[in-house]
Structure 1
Amino acid sequence: MNDMAATPARPERQRKPDWIRVKAPTSKGYGETRQLMRDLSLNTVCEEAACPNIGECWTKKHATVMILGDTCTRACAFCNVKTGMPLAVDRDEPAHVAEAAAKLGLEHIVITSVDRDDLADGGASQFVKVIEELRRTTPGTTIEILTPDFRGKMRSAVEAIVAAGPDVYNHNLETVPRLYPTIRPGARYYASLRLLEEVKAHDPLVFTKSGIMLGLGEERLEVHQVMDDMRSAGIDFLTMGQYLQPTPRHAKVIDFVTPKAFDAYGAIARAKGFLQVASSPLTRSSYHAGDDFRAMRTAREAQVAKAAERALRKGERA
């Protein structure tokens, strides 16, 4: 008997097109950022989710910190973060995040987390503590958070976090509603929309942000409908990027969306009234987040100025 014939075939990995290939990270800045995260016992979504932009971002000493451990209580079909029973919450984590922000000299920081359905508040209090510690330690740093949906605890969690005063509140819808049962089975599309509406209800001045992945089998008109749903929920900033299969056991890439198609989606999103849109194959939630925040803030200031000018002209005519 041929032993080779009894060996199961390894799953074939999909070949990526040229426009989403990136170089392996080798820079000095990358190494320094990596070491700092190790020294402070911090997890990053950059590593855990196998982000393709890690080399570029860490070279610039930009890292997205993932609080509440490295183990998620859910198992989404697209996500590379490990699933299981998480460890106890680290009480020193808020201080370590603030120390990292200070040492990296961050003008803008993005804080995300794993899902913690095992905690009574879903982990909301840890977000609050991190925001408060950052405000004390690096008061000039603007803060962007990317939270889970806090299933069953959404209203109280959002109220507490918004009261802490983040500059940007992000929660990703991830994909179109039709694909939720297979891609994001632990979540509900309209519950995620409701979460972002709650943010605006508590503080209309907080920028809200959400993102979706393309290439999972969604249809063009479904993407347009998600944009409309987001605008109805008052979402300010939309990100769209190419889904990449992290391992053979995760959901497959159905289509590699071309840069031209991403540009077209971006143009439609801007026409629908988003303050800021990031749409490209390599776009991720926190990619160029600081630059995008400043652009979004400038866009809002321009909107306010135009509204004031219109009101003045209307008063003069009256």
Structure 2
Amino acid sequence: MNESTPLRIARKPEWLRVRAPTSSAFRETKALMRRLGLHTVCEEAACPNIGECWQQRHATVMILGDTCTRACAFCNVKTGMPGPVDPLEPVHVAEAAAELGLSHIVVTSVDRDDLPDGGASQFVKVIEAIRARSPSTTIEILTPDFRNKADAAVEAIVAARPDVYNHNLETVPRLYPTIRPGARYYHSLRLLERVKTLDPSLFTKSGLMVGLGEQRLEMHQVMDDMRSAGVDFLTIGQYLQPTPRHAPVVEFVPPATFAAYRTVAEAKGFLLVAASPLTRSSHHAGEDFARLKAAREARLARAKALA
């Protein structure tokens, strides 16, 4: 990646092209989400992997409605004043997990700065409902930063015992004012650290986008910050501009650069690193969770052998 800011590139390279979803499984998954009145980040954020994931009947549920109280420059989810929280949503999420036969489910949400707890209690109810309906399903949550209410929100969610706690830093701190203006880099970093402090056994995960004008050394510093906060799993993917009103793509990062980032991140001690142009937080999450557990067990075994 060039250290200087390159010209905007409009045309996607071959490594970013995906097929349009057409399978019957895709249509069935979509019908199920509509029948249960659920939203998915796959649709709302225009994820390029939706065809692949939904063909395998894997969907990332987005709770607390489809309207976000923030307007991040990279995100396609609509902004405005959200409606009331659906009290039946936790039951419907659990029904979806059961009907899809999910061994692993990812649950995320919009930002709900309008709620006293930022929506944390709804995450807890969803976790509890899934545990009751599908006790063998492992649960990964991807939460917002719970601005101004993070300590109580994180404590409540950690006490509900998800299997993976994910919160994305998204980009390097220099770009926060333009890309993630409603958030603060060190607040998000402290949230991840707080999860590990409360329960060191929980896996923590965070993701970064590239192609927004970040520099390599800035990425390396963020990796160091994540490791200082105890983050176990790092994902890195290419930013894609959802609409012309969103932040432009500064660079389409080649696969070789992703491989280099993966090598550096692994050397810094992450248990697992997923880095490729099409990597997204919930892409292959179930398979990655199995790899994450295996990596921890291997590390513990090595430590025991050296003791």
Q: TM-score, normalised by structure 2?
A: 0.97
Q: Secondary structure at the match of 2:165?
A: strand
Q: Secondary structure at the match of 2:174?
A: helix
1:230 maps onto 2:229 in alignment: no
The share of aligned pairs that are identical, in percent, is 75
Residue of structure 1 equivalent to 2:107: 111
Match of 1:140 among 127, 131, 136: 136
Q: Which runs of 4+ in 1 moved over 4 A?
A: none
Q: Secondary structure at the match of 2:278?
A: coil
User: For residue 295 of structure 2, what is the amino acid of its counterpart?
Assistant: A
1:91 maps onto 2:96 in alignment: no
Residue of structure 1 equivalent to 2:53: 57
Structure 1 distance, partners of 2:266, 2:305, is: 22
Structure 2 distance, partners of 1:36, 1:263, is: 37
Larger Rg: 1
Mapping for residues 99-248 of structure 1, pairs under 5 Å: 99-248=95-244
Residue of structure 1 equivalent to 2:44: 48
- CA displacement 1:209-241 (0-9 Å, x = unmatched): 000000000001000000000000000000000
Residue of structure 2 equivalent to 1:304: 300
Residue of structure 2 equivalent to 1:4: none
Structure 1 distance, partners of 2:38, 2:220, is: 37
Structure 2 distance, partners of 1:227, 1:201, is: 19
Structure 1 distance, partners of 2:71, 2:275, is: 26
Residue of structure 1 equivalent to 2:67: 71
Gaps of 5+ in 1: 1-11, 312-318
Contact map agreement 1:111 1:146 (CA 8 A) in 2: yes
Structure 2 distance, partners of 1:13, 1:119, is: 39
Structure 1 distance, partners of 2:191, 2:25, is: 37
Structure 2 distance, partners of 1:179, 1:310, is: 42
Structure 1 distance, partners of 2:47, 2:83, is: 24
- CA displacement 1:121-173 (0-9 Å, x = unmatched): 00000000000011110000000000000000000000000000000000000
Contact map agreement 1:131 1:164 (CA 8 A) in 2: yes
1:14, CA displacement in angstroms?
Answer: 1.6
Aligned length: 300
Structure 2 distance, partners of 1:118, 1:279, is: 34
Residue of structure 1 equivalent to 2:249: 253
- CA displacement 1:23-48 (0-9 Å, x = unmatched): 10000110000000000000000000
1:25 maps onto 2:8 in alignment: no
Contact map agreement 1:71 1:85 (CA 8 A) in 2: yes
1:309, CA displacement in angstroms?
Answer: 2.0
Contact map agreement 1:13 1:248 (CA 8 A) in 2: no
User: For residue 258 of structure 2, what is the amino acid of its counterpart?
Assistant: F
1:13, CA displacement in angstroms?
Answer: 8.7
Residue of structure 1 equivalent to 2:273: 277
Q: Secondary structure at the match of 2:206?
A: strand
Structure 2 distance, partners of 1:117, 1:67, is: 14
1:289 maps onto 2:262 in alignment: no
Structure 1 distance, partners of 2:155, 2:279, is: 29
Structure 2 distance, partners of 1:13, 1:112, is: 30
User: Which structure is higher in RCO with an 8 Å CA cutoff and minimum separation 6?
Assistant: 2
Q: What CA RMSD, in Å, does the superposition of the two structures yield over aligned residues?
A: 0.9
1:307, CA displacement in angstroms?
Answer: 1.8
- CA displacement 1:271-292 (0-9 Å, x = unmatched): 1100000000000000000111
Gaps of 5+ in 2: 1-7
User: For residue 111 of structure 2, what is the amino acid of its counterpart?
Assistant: D
Residue of structure 2 equivalent to 1:6: none
- CA displacement 1:7-29 (0-9 Å, x = unmatched): xxxxx992111100001000011
1:310, CA displacement in angstroms?
Answer: 2.0
User: For residue 208 of structure 1, what is the amino acid of its counterpart?
Assistant: T
Q: Secondary structure at the match of 1:291?
A: helix
User: For residue 66 of structure 2, what is the amino acid of its counterpart?
Assistant: D
